[in-house]
Amino acid sequence: MQSTNPATGEQLATYEEDDAVDVEEKLALSMDAYADWRDRPIRERETLLANAGSVLRENKRRYAELMVREMGKPISQAIAEVEKSAWACDHYAEYASAYLSEEHYPSPPGTEVKTVHDPLGPVLAVMPWNYPFWQVIRFAAPYLTAGNVGLLKHASNVPGTALVLEEVFTEAGYPEGVFQTLMIGSSQVEDVLADDRVKAATLTGSGPAGRAVAETAGKHLKKTVLELGGSDPFIVLDDADLEAAVETGVQARTQNGGQSCIAAKRFLVHEAVYDEYVDRLVDAFEALVVGDPTDEATDVGPQADAALMADLQEQVQASVDAGATLLTGGEPLDRDGAFYPPTVLSDVPSGCPVDSEETFGPVAAVYEVADEQEAVTLANDSRFGLGASIWTEDRERGEQLARDIESGAVYVNELTKSDPRVPFGGINDSGYGRELSETGIKEFVNRKTVWIQ
């Protein structure tokens, strides 16, 4: 298993994969750890999670630099990711016991009836490379604190990060085996998930990967939470604050090199402001600094992998061939590394790749709409349903339209984001289940009814 710097093409390190014996030992250890961990008082588990948040903050520069080297995220964004991960630890360290408190119900005199929230056991997490710390911490923080133990199968291009995440929990004082990294390839996931000791799984990734995990889990009647791809609409209405909608739209499309499931991908702009908005958007895209991700001044680093960049370029070129107009960008930059420029396409034909597929890179497709109803119709004309963003100065109008959008989340006058205080997840081909908040921590617990006569 190798890690490669996408900014230079330099091979960074080689890691030994776990063989069948290694995997068996880790599964056995997870069960041993669970037998004790599930009975630890939740306040103790919360204290350890707070420790993990401290470990993240104390080492944030080192962790951020590792992310930069392995997947190309600009250093300022990498530091922010570690800080956000620490925030998730803080949140569950403070609120997990309240989220999982007993729920009492009316019952006959002399009886007590309640729901308690028991852990399930070892939970497998199949996590992506694009937010290699945040994705893992948003899995581990709630589910470990609920009393489960974690088995991480991280993306194969961030093996160093996968091992460091195990280090975070060790340094925080977690017992051995409560959080382990499986250094395995995707082909081994099915066997691990099918093992009787693994009780549930969560995956963030592609549609095919999600379907494979769901199929295996369904065959064995195991709970899953899937967060898959997205093609989020970013709706700009005629009464929007254009300056704010441009500034946030650029961030929503290009942060993390545009490699985000909840990035703004389809910009649906009211005809009354379309020309001005698109001109401003193109100017802002062209002003972004594309370059060395270790430089604090860089806005957009390399794509995480040359092959992924080639796929993105194929989507853009096929869309142009189908009739889309290229307003800026559109070709890999002529330099070492997997650098792709911020790109804007207009006159996007229905069904072309940038319209119907997820584009995992800094490519914005812009559409002119006659009114808010056409915007909603186009927004919902997608097999995905992860998030959406609506821009209007009329908050009541925005809230009403938000109810008409078919997605797991809608943000009015804000970019779509994940936040430990609110549930996160999608519908349709964007997956099912919810992460974060009280809803998320209860996905992998047994909501047990206890009747005491």
As annotated, the active-site residues are: 227, 261
E-strand ranges in 260-313 read 264-270
Contact 169, 37 (CB under 8 A): no
DSSP bridge partners of 300: 290
What is the rounded distance in angstroms from the CA atom of residue 38 to the CA atom of residue 338?
A: 45
What is the rounded distance in angstroms from the CA atom of residue 453 to the CA atom of residue 116?
A: 16
Contact 120, 446 (CB under 8 A): yes
Burial class (CB in 10 A: 0-12, 13-18, 19+), 209: middle
What is the rounded distance in angstroms from the CA atom of residue 51 to the CA atom of residue 63?
A: 16
Radius of gyration of the chain (CA): 23
What is the rounded distance in angstroms from the CA atom of residue 76 to the CA atom of residue 417?
A: 18
Q: What SS3 state is found at 152?
A: strand
* The amino acid at 262: I
